[in-house]
Amino acid sequence: MEKTVNQRAWFLVLPVLALVAFSAVIPLMTVVNYSVQDTFGNNQFFWAGIEWFRELLASDRMWDALGRQAAFSAIILAIEVPLGILVALNMPKRGFWASFCLVVMSLPLLIPWNVVGTIWQIFGRVDIGLLGYTLEALGIPYNYTQGFFAAWATVVVMDVWHWTSLIALLAYAGLQSIPDAYYQAAKIDQASRWKIFWYIELPKMRGVLMIAILLRFMDSFMIYTEPFVVTGGGPGNSTTFLSIDLVKMALGQFDLGPAAAFSIMYFLVILLISWVFYTVMTNLDKAERVQ
């Protein structure tokens, strides 16, 4: 007997597809339209073709911003992933203190991004900020508005403070899924703490860690609010990441055509790197399951 397929369920999906088309596809098409045109105001547009894309690819400005962005993402991933795993390994597994630690770890994630930037902007000031004033009192020169290293250190530490909790909570969830029988078997075999982590805990956390790394990469590559509030992209252009440079081009200079082309290239870079991340991590996961 031939099985009949009911396609009426698609009608339930149509409102979602319409909403996505309205909120994502239509604005994207508008940006694409701007990227191939030039305007001098008064709603007058002139065809430019791919001129803006050629100009950006030959521009040191975009490549410098891309280099700063890639360096920032690499630094925070190298810090946050091991630190998040370390925090998760040392959190209580059950009882009141487990719940208490989960609540405390969730607090930084609840703070809006602009508030995080404001907190660290005040915290790092040498006149009224606890961090800046203490470092100055100890004789350590620190001024994130003038020093390259201080600006980068402030932005990196701020992001680590804000987002390490996400990796810690995801890693903690992976650890909680490990049956007690694994630890009992390791205890019988007198396995060291390092071997327990390497052969039991890390493989069980691999899935959630892949998700955490992918999320943190995408978010760090699109970071805007926090560094803009703290440093404004300075001193000079030392913390002018891709998103800040794009806003300066679009709103500060009102170069809509180049800014639209810049945003499309920015989107494609994030999409490409995220796809590479996802493909590599998926293949590693498949290889691990085969073994």
In tens digits, the chain (291 residues) has pLDDT values of: 566 666 777 788 888 888 877 787 888 888 888 888 887 767 777 888 889 999 988 989 889 999 999 999 999 999 999 999 999 999 998 888 999 999 999 999 999 988 999 999 999 988 888 988 898 889 888 889 888 999 999 999 999 999 999 999 999 999 998 888 998 999 888 888 899 999 889 988 888 888 898 889 989 998 999 999 999 888 888 999 999 999 998 888 888 889 999 999 998 988 888 888 888 777 877 766 665
In this structure, what CATH number is given to the domain that contains residue 261? 1.10.3720.10
Q: Which domain holds residue 248?
A: 60-290
Residue 146 lies in a domain: yes
User: How many structural domains are present in the chain?
Assistant: 1
Amino acid occupying residue 35: S
CA angle 64, 213, 290 (to 5 degrees): 130
3-class SS at 225?
helix
DSSP designation for 41 = S
Residue 17 lies in a domain: no
Residue 148 lies in a domain: yes
CA angle 202, 206, 277 (to 5 degrees): 140
Element holding 235 (H helix, E strand): none
User: So what's the pLDDT on residue 216?
Assistant: 92
Residue 258 lies in a domain: yes
Average pLDDT over the chain, rounded to an integer? 88
| Residues 70 and 288: beta-carbon distance below 8 Å | no
With tokens 């890639």, the residue in question is 70
CA angle 123, 88, 155 (to 5 degrees): 25
How far apart are the C-alpha atoms of 136 and 59, rounded to whole Å?
39
Residue 71 lies in a domain: yes
